[in-house]
Structure 1
Amino acid sequence: MPATAAPSARTRVRRKPERARYDAEAVNAIVDAAVICNVAFQLDGAVHAIPTIHWREGEHLYIHGAKASRMLKALIDAEACITIALADGLVLARSAMHHSMNYRSVVVYGRFELLTDPLEKQRSLQALIDGLYPGRWDTLRPISDKELNATSVLRIPLTEASAKVRDSGVKDDEEDLAWPAWAGVIPLGTELGTPRAEADSVVSTVPPTRFGSPRDGHGGHRRAPR
């Protein structure tokens, strides 16, 4: 059954609590749908919020970066807050104050841990690549020990997380319903554009992504020029 209670006081949704989702299935679906999260942390007495690529495996959210990254070092030493937001639709009402947006969002609290085992790091990086481009890892030049050593992979548990979702129409006041302004929802989405191959690419077939296969303007699969 979906969880109905927040896992902690700081994850409890106070504004519009009816939009809250606390079950892992809801949280994971939003984490998986996004490719970038914002990581907030403190460093040298200042607060920072940095967008970065993320991926999920099981009950953890992963990020990676250069071993020398000040952000990654700071995340190991203190707690962080991760936010994800996806805009799904523009909600146009008959009054300015009732305009809104349909969205899905997640907030995660906790502390990152560093992956230290080289095999685990490589396996996790493969999950990142294959998660975006299914089967691509095995087609690539193998990662070198130097590259792996220069890269840090961190993960944070999704046990202290909450989701918030708006997926509804216009909420106008009854006295405004006859006002002569268009009201409704304009959906927002993401679609693949036309691939642009590098001039020296020795392979012409564009690989599929987790968002689908790139297509040309005639509905066929797009092939990159040599």
Structure 2
Amino acid sequence: MTHPDTRLAKPRTANDLPRHAKIRQMNRGGYDRDLAYGILDAGLVAHVGFIQDNRPMVIPMAYARIGDRVYIHGASTTRIIKANGAGVPASLTVTLVDGIVVARSAFHHSMNYRCVVLHGMAHLVDDPAEQTDALAAITDHLLPGRWSECRDMTPKELKATGVLVMDIDHASTKVRTGGPVDDKDDLGSDIWAGVVPVVTALGQPFSASDVPDRSPVPPSVPAARKKFI
């Protein structure tokens, strides 16, 4: 099953948005969906926020984007799946850290980062074809092409796995780049300042103990490495 990409033709402005989706300070923020989706597609872990028993909950989860929808999955009996199947307001964030910004004053230390915040309604996927497409997308988001390398899921596995879909109603981003912003009086002092890059990379894979020596590392592994080059 495919879902059309119905993103807005133009970036949203604050006047178009409800209060919860507005960026408080716009100096590093924006509503560009191409940028938002680029950050989503580059990340690995999303933190999903929702209300459970009148308390805020935030759960780190694997995910995938298909058009203007984000899919997350978990065991059918987990709280986030079981309690929110009928529909719930949700928020989802992904942050990529690119560097630690070291200033001469502790006050001006910062990070270089790319962050996306999504708001929308999440509900349980009950269509079997959409559920399978979502699970394939989540698997391939981690390791591109891995779904086709695996055996088919059994009916028991599919029944034990719940999938939530969140329609992306609102998307905002914040991005910081560059070096430290020190006070003018501190410039040229002997205290070191600069940027320490933070790099995400995949290490050398090692096989499970029962994998035959004749079984090579599948193409999905080097394909995943390309996300971080």
2:29 is matched with which residue?
A: 20
Q: Residues 7-51 of structure 1: CA distance to partner in whole angstroms, max 9, x if unpaired?
A: 432222113x12112011011011111111111122122221111
Fraction of identical pairs, as percent = 41
1:217 is matched with which residue?
A: none
2:104 is matched with which residue?
A: 94
What does 1:158-177 align with in structure 2 at a 5 Å threshold? 158-177=168-187
State the SS of the aligned residue for 2:27: helix
2:6 is matched with which residue?
A: none
| Residues 41 and 74 in structure 1, CA contact (< 8 A), matched pair in contact too | no
Which moves more between the two structures, 173-182 or 6-15? 6-15
State the SS of the aligned residue for 2:60: strand
What does 1:38-187 align with in structure 2 at a 5 Å threshold? 38-76=47-85, 77-187=87-197
| Residues 2 and 22 in structure 1, CA contact (< 8 A), matched pair in contact too | no
| Residues 110 and 160 in structure 1, CA contact (< 8 A), matched pair in contact too | yes
Selected match of 1:205 from 201, 216, 223 = 216
Unaligned stretches of 5+ in structure 2?
1-8
The residue type paired with residue 66 of structure 2 is: E
| Residues 8 and 160 in structure 1, CA contact (< 8 A), matched pair in contact too | no
**Corresponding position: 1:32 with 2:32:** no
Give the direction of change, closer, same or farther, for the CA distance of 1:101–1:31 in structure 2 (3 Å limit). same
Which moves more between the two structures, 95-104 or 6-15? 6-15
Residue 197 of structure 1, CA deviation: 0.9
State the SS of the aligned residue for 2:132: helix
| Residues 123 and 164 in structure 2, CA contact (< 8 A), matched pair in contact too | yes
Detail structure 1 runs of 4+ shifted over 4 Å in the superposition: none
Provide the aligned C-alpha RMSD in A. 1.8
State the SS of the aligned residue for 1:97: helix
TM-score, reference length from structure 2: 0.85
1:223 is matched with which residue?
A: none
Unaligned stretches of 5+ in structure 1?
214-226
State the SS of the aligned residue for 1:211: helix
Residue 114 of structure 1, CA deviation: 1.7
**Hey, what's the Cα distance between the residues in 1 that align with 2:119 and 2:83?**
15
Query: How many pairs were matched up?
Result: 212
Residue 4 of structure 1, CA deviation: 5.4
2:13 is matched with which residue?
A: 5
| Residues 38 and 84 in structure 1, CA contact (< 8 A), matched pair in contact too | yes
Give the direction of change, closer, same or farther, for the CA distance of 1:30–1:75 in structure 2 (3 Å limit). farther
Residue 2 of structure 1, CA deviation: 5.7
The residue type paired with residue 178 of structure 2 is: S
